[in-house]
Amino acid sequence: MSNNFQKCLHRAKQLSSLNAFISLNEAHVSCEHNKAEGRLAGMVVAVKNTIHVAGIPNTAGTPALRNFVPTEDCPVVKLLKAEGAEILGTTNLHELGFGITSNNSLFGPVRNPYDVERFAGGSSGGSAAAVSARIVPVAIGGDTGGSVRLPSSLCGVIGFRPSLNRYSVQGTTPISVTRDTLGPMALEMKHITLLDSVMSERPEVKDSKPLENIRLGLAKKALLSDLDPETERVFEAAIEKISKAGVTIVEAELDERFREVHSKGFSIVHYETRPTVESYLKQYCSDVTFADLAGQCASPDVCAVFQSILKDCSGVTKEMYDEALSVHRPALVEFYKEYFKQHNVDALVFPTTILPASKIEGSVENVVHRGRSVPTFPSYIKNTDPGASAGLPGISIPIGLTSQGLPVGLELDGLPDHDDRLLSVAIAIEALFGKLPPPPVVESELS
């Protein structure tokens, strides 16, 4: 057990009130074979409790899987360990990954380090909170519609969702076979690119693109509408700073059919969930059925979704699914490709979420936004889900705090399989902002 591991374990226990972890690897299970000379030697990593780590319970935050302990590391964890990484433990999440608050009714809500009365975001909330609170320098989450980028934004860290199939998702609790990805979360881009290199088994992206050669597309109508006033203020100040540094901001709208086509794509997730999850259970937990998951769900919002899918009353037919997969998704990708080509941009730029983190209490179904009650889930994934639907790589970078001290994230989306290009742009943009001040909970509970 390295000194770094011991320090991180101590911090995790001191900050247990954040509820960031489900299981801590106190016995240092399956770390004995880590390479001391690897590229990640001495790096302590937290992973979402949907990512198999041999010997550590993989609950996916739900009662029916509470006793499932993988006997083998998933491929991504194997790659991390082969380079010397030590797994501190598995992090709390929105139950089964089906939500954006991480208000888990079985293990309790993940608390945002910048305001413990607010949620951390989800579904990878524990991973984001663990990095934000400086418990670990890096963590791994999962992203289907925003579950890495969204909590990263709300907790003030960097979160990267790669293009589909850049990393293996084998040995992870799934949601959607055609949309699920894993993604690294960290305080610095140098750790994001290092983890990306290890997880993708590709050369590391180290060079930033010169600021004067970067062109960012700004689609105000599609991605900047109905912003929280403080989010808008912080984002506009960031755009001004980026522009003054030499980056070209191209104000241009996405095709007016963009939202309509995207809205038809969410049926993919609902249609794929049952067969995808059933296949996973058959392979890893043959004594648990989909009906068991649905019947034992602890979180009311997740229960409603899984019961709807179980009873086949989600309203998504085979014909709707086929059309979403073969017509609407390709059309959405084409909208993006045409936009990038027509305006010669390296990435789209927009606020990761339209509002900062909300209070945990009363947020299951609705939150208050601009003086009105709005549905929690669609409001928070409004900007993150379209790129996920199209399989784009996206990265959220912290750019500042609201007047209440809450983080705001700026997202950059690139074209599918242009991850290296996006990362080189992100390196350049990150250098303009650096890390946010540590959250108050770090200083108060560790002093």
Reduced to 3 states (helix: H, G, I; strand: E, B; else coil), residue 413 is strand
In one-letter notation, the amino acid at residue 79 is L
Ranges assigned E (strand) in 153-269 = 158-161, 181-186, 215-218, 248-251
Reduced to 3 states (helix: H, G, I; strand: E, B; else coil), residue 218 is strand
- Catalytic one among 105, 127, 132, 147? 147
Q: Which two tokens stand for residue 17?
A: 């009130």
In one-letter notation, the amino acid at residue 387 is G
Residues 50, 57 contacting (CB under 8 angstroms) = no
Ranges assigned E (strand) in 132-230 = 138-143, 158-161, 181-186, 215-218
Angle in degrees, CA 159, 163, 165, rounded to 5 = 115
Active site includes 147?
A: yes
CA distance linking residue 418 with residue 408, whole number of Å: 25
- Catalytic one among 123, 132, 153, 314? 123
Largest CA distance in the chain: 59
H or E stretch at 398: strand 394-401
End-to-end CA distance of the chain: 25
Calculate the CA 398 to chain-centre distance.
Answer: 14
Neighbours of 272 (CB within 10 A): 21
- Catalytic one among 48, 81, 209, 382? 48
**CA neighbours within 13 Å on the CB side: how many for 181?**
32
Calculate the CA 132 to chain-centre distance.
Answer: 13
Residues 87, 47 contacting (CB under 8 angstroms) = yes
CA distance linking residue 195 with residue 440, whole number of Å: 28
Reduced to 3 states (helix: H, G, I; strand: E, B; else coil), residue 430 is helix
Active site includes 123?
A: yes
Ranges assigned E (strand) in 286-346 = none
Q: Is 373 exposed, middle or buried (0-12, 13-18, 19+ CB in 10 A)?
A: exposed
The residues carrying an active-site annotation are 48, 123, 147
